[in-house]
Structure 1
């Protein structure tokens, strides 16, 4: 029998898919459950208990129809594909599980774990984000390289990675599904984390749609922009000090105006005699 775990992948991961096929020529062995350990790169952190129990009931009646795929490691075997079957077999009280042993590198193991879950849409948005970041960090990939690997657009990768900027409590909302990916995208760009948390809480409480939340964010940004425009710019303390020094020297109003390291000095006079006085002082200082 043969099972193919997903379509639409990048060329990099597509090359791994044949290694997940199980054919009639493969050697299937019974491995004690005690010798197995889960994939350390498994991106999925939450398994649906009801789904596991349903699978366990099926295994009790029919056995494990599809062997899991493992690799040999120190002190046993590591699950590459089939952790749900492994967990359900534990729940059903089996002592062993049918498996096919293959060789994989750490990177392949990590990528396959992502394929098995993302392509079947078993991961929540935060788990996908963490998995993408782990691939980038572990194997020094760029977002562009990762997008090719998983067969997704670069913007898709970037949108998920941005979720990691959310406050921890808001990340939990996304993980539990109380806040959708669309809601998270609407608030992730806000700089003030307290406002992000407050908007997330209100969204959940008031059951705002993504559009409603986007409108609130737009209003907030417009108000912030207005306040910024109305707020007078604070003068550089150094410029203030220079102006004060020049005022004392010339005994008149002096203004220094500058922008991008360029500017001018304005020395005000209030009569012809005042002008003559200032000119004499300036000429005296330049000589």
Structure 2
């Protein structure tokens, strides 16, 4: 690796990256890693940068560093990189994203910090980290959830699909109320989306939310499969709803350029000005 060297470093001489986007560490996974480190050591070096003589800051490998401390090993193998401050968050984010270790809220917060720190657009960020523009946009929307719902998403109680569906409601109170029902009743994402649709219909007809009934999830099983297939094909969120007399397909796009991309995939070459 250019601009780097390998060293064995005292564990206590390393401090975590204060801008590390990941805040949650699975206890079972950590216990397994601690046991592995205690028995055979650290097989993959952590990556650090020197911030003062003999003092280092983590760039990558916080789980390995934590496990080494917990196993009471005194030293850890490390690659010392000469990394500028403005590269630290990007490096940590890329490592965690590509290892699928960030929960949706941590990922959203990291995207927001990258956008602010590097003063770039979502399209530029998508290009730099290898993510699609709609994926970044949809993830950032999760930060609009009320705190109580965000905590459920961060804990893995609610999926990002549930969270995006909840954003269709008008008020934080409605979002929190439906989030509780999702957990209590084990509602699927499809059932949640239909509950949101019914809430809008009830509001427009002057009907109390309490009188709305959730539709049977079995009725929409095939619609779920179609929506997932279109989401994968178009690389953006696709929703399919079915009413008494007609259905609807909703396709999310983040910008006119993203719309052009979708139209080209679908087969329509004419651009919208």
State the TM-score, normalizing by the size of structure 2: 0.71
Alignment of 1:118 with 2:97, yes or no, is yes
Corresponding position of 1:240:
none
Match of 1:150 among 109, 124, 129: 129
Corresponding position of 2:62:
83
Alignment of 1:94 with 2:73, yes or no, is yes
Deviations 1:52-95 (A, max 9, x none): 22222222222222221110113610111111111111011111
Equivalent runs, 1:246-265 vs 2, <5 Å:
none
Deviations 1:118-174 (A, max 9, x none): 111111111101111111112212111111111111110110100000000000000
Match of 1:197 among 176, 186, 189: 176
Corresponding position of 1:65:
43
Match of 2:8 among 30, 34, 43: 30
RMSD: 1.9
Deviates more, 1:140-149 or 1:127-136: 140-149
Aligned-residue offset at 1:201: 0.6
Corresponding position of 1:187:
166
Deviates more, 1:62-71 or 1:77-86: 62-71
Corresponding position of 2:19:
41
Corresponding position of 1:221:
200
Looking at structure 2, the residues matched to 106 and 200 of structure 1 have their Cα atoms a distance apart, in angstroms, of: 39
Moved over 4 A (4+): none
What residue ranges of structure 2 are gaps of 5+ in the alignment?
Answer: 208-273
Q: Aligned residues, how many?
A: 206
Aligned-residue offset at 1:19: 6.4
Corresponding position of 2:140:
161
Aligned-residue offset at 1:227: 4.2
Does structure 1 conserve the Cα–Cα contact (< 8 Å) formed by 2:5 and 2:81? no
State the TM-score, normalizing by the size of structure 1: 0.68
Name which one, 1 or 2, has greater alpha-carbon Rg: 1
SS at match of 2:78: strand
SS at match of 1:70: strand
Does structure 1 conserve the Cα–Cα contact (< 8 Å) formed by 2:8 and 2:78? yes
What residue ranges of structure 1 are gaps of 5+ in the alignment?
Answer: 1-17, 21-25, 229-287
Does structure 2 conserve the Cα–Cα contact (< 8 Å) formed by 1:70 and 1:101? yes
Change (3 A) 1:115 1:225: same
